[in-house]
Structure 1
């Protein structure tokens, strides 16, 4: 489906598993002038190959295919791997990438918590490692790296490690050590998230979504409000009934008419939202930053604590769109939610720049 790297191997290998990760690799490449000027032939020195470790979720796959087209338009090679296409798929994927991993000088990754990425890190000899945003998880990754902790997603912390966690622990440990800078290896975090402090030697560079703003928009702005969905119900953090009530209250209070679904939201939940709130459910075919920049988009964008409260103000800089974030009321959390969930979500909201902060809507429920 895609070009293969030459015998010498690419200068830079980037591994992505979600559309947002791929978008942020494009932003990183743009900021490092690795792209190809519009209308010109691909630059042979660009040396970036994007490897898509494809998930099984149809929505995510569809968005990834659209993002892969944009990457090819920029002159980059894209290698699509059916990394989860059966029990033997990981062996074929890792085996097929081993030679490229050993030759690449730089590895760019979107999710250092991914077991797949951690396994690939145990193979590479690259002297330069770059982590691009995988949403708010980047904040937790940097904090865990600074504390020397094992790499665990924030919504899973607090529970006992499972059997697979224990078996994979040696590989995860190697990955954590590889992501720790040494005299021979550099580590960069390319992020739009608010990262106040970083581990010694880790270089933090800013993602201001300059590629997105250069390629798309400015958008046509409508008079109403749009609401951004979240997968906090699907990850077991927020109770589904409380979430539906909050969406109802927010949409009524602010006159929202459209609900932009997160790619991980279940069909059943979205159907219930449509029936009980009357909102038009939109399932975007690209990351929301690109959808909003292309327009049309509401004058107000309502969101719960999530990555977009940090990224949308950057992508929409220079427009009249206002981003408003609604706090998560502690009573919405499930019994199985991580002990750190409330503090983490509050931190996501509290550190967002250029957004209007709304109090939790529990009083209106």
Structure 2
């Protein structure tokens, strides 16, 4: 593990923030890590406050920037969560950090690995994005820089997600250092900020409705047909109108934590269970809760739930998180 030198991280989501802390704890991001969170984004302020109340790994400092992205120095390690961000890609064209570490940003992490191991010239663009020519050029240039860092042994991907064996082999063949983790730092911390919900069934909210990938009526009908009482933990990108309907439904209690469910639900007890549509949170919660005897079940999405926007490849990606404990 790389333990020397300083590091700077730029994070734009609560999960990225948590994983940046885990990267420092695991020793992949230098002996001193300055984490800069993008300002005015939902959940980041709350997550930062809760992390500050815990025993952060030595050398970690968390700051907030409104708009200014920190620029890594030539000898720094640069930690990023969103390799598809235009701002990150622009900085990558002129920055020359000693090392680069990519931490989890949900499903996009697997997409990034697939794109970095695909044919040369594939631009780094988000799924389902209709990009202008200038944006495609930037994405292609960013891919070149990341692949060059990989060939030089300067690129690490730090993830808690299940990377298929064939993809992991291809990633390492490109020179990328693939480091997996199981939220070791978080598991070492007391779960004092979030008392466990009283309900036996915990349902994780989803962004699939707001992203136009599944039909709203199918999802809400399924949710409201579940036997209650239910504890509902919203996804940070859920539509406020949908969330209001959930909040008004008898037998459902909405818990507005604002922080990653890995932090809010790690203290569930035997006798409780978690239900979720395919999501990266399924994997991390299984890591955190399996030793406590709490099942995390993935709901198998029926074909008639999907909208035309949900491509076969995207459905295949999501199924990666539905292998264990599937629920009808």
The TM-score by the shorter chain falls in which range? 0.7 to 0.9
What secondary structure is seen at the aligned counterpart in 2 of 1:348?
A: coil
Q: How many angstroms apart in 1 are the aligned matches of 2:268 and 2:320?
A: 29
Contact 1:226 1:298 in 2 (8 A): no
Structure 2, unmatched stretches of 5+, are none
Partner of 2:179: 205
1:65 to 30, 45, 48: 48
Q: How many angstroms apart in 1 are the aligned matches of 2:273 and 2:26?
A: 29
Q: How many angstroms apart in 1 are the aligned matches of 2:272 and 2:47?
A: 28
Q: How many angstroms apart in 2 are the aligned matches of 1:248 and 1:231?
A: 17
Partner of 1:190: 158
Contact 1:136 1:348 in 2 (8 A): no
Q: How many angstroms apart in 2 are the aligned matches of 1:262 and 1:291?
A: 13
What secondary structure is seen at the aligned counterpart in 1 of 2:208?
A: coil
Partner of 1:86: none
Q: How many angstroms apart in 2 are the aligned matches of 1:217 and 1:65?
A: 15
What secondary structure is seen at the aligned counterpart in 2 of 1:318?
A: helix
Contact 2:24 2:31 in 1 (8 A): no
Contact 2:200 2:230 in 1 (8 A): yes
Q: What is the Cα deviation at residue 216 of structure 1?
A: 2.6
Partner of 2:99: 128
Q: Deviations over 1:222-255 (max 9, x none)?
A: 6711111111111111111111012123x22xx4
Q: How many angstroms apart in 2 are the aligned matches of 1:215 and 1:29?
A: 15
Partner of 1:113: 84
Q: What is the Cα deviation at residue 60 of structure 1?
A: 2.6
Query: What TM-score comes out, normalization by structure 2 length?
Result: 0.85
Q: How many angstroms apart in 2 are the aligned matches of 1:71 and 1:106?
A: 24
What secondary structure is seen at the aligned counterpart in 1 of 2:235?
A: coil
Contact 1:330 1:342 in 2 (8 A): no
Partner of 1:142: 113
1:170 to 125, 129, 137: 137
Structure 1, unmatched stretches of 5+, are 1-9, 35-44, 84-92, 360-365
Q: How many angstroms apart in 2 are the aligned matches of 1:111 and 1:126?
A: 17
Task: Tell me which of the two structures has the higher relative contact order, counting C-alpha pairs closer than 8 angstroms and 6 or more residues apart.
Answer: 1
Q: How many angstroms apart in 2 are the aligned matches of 1:68 and 1:292?
A: 15
Partner of 1:358: 327
What secondary structure is seen at the aligned counterpart in 2 of 1:122?
A: helix
Partner of 2:320: 347
Partner of 1:269: 242
Say what the alpha-carbon RMSD is for the aligned residues. 2.6
Query: What TM-score comes out, normalization by structure 1 length?
Result: 0.77
Q: How many angstroms apart in 2 are the aligned matches of 1:67 and 1:12?
A: 22
Partner of 2:275: 302
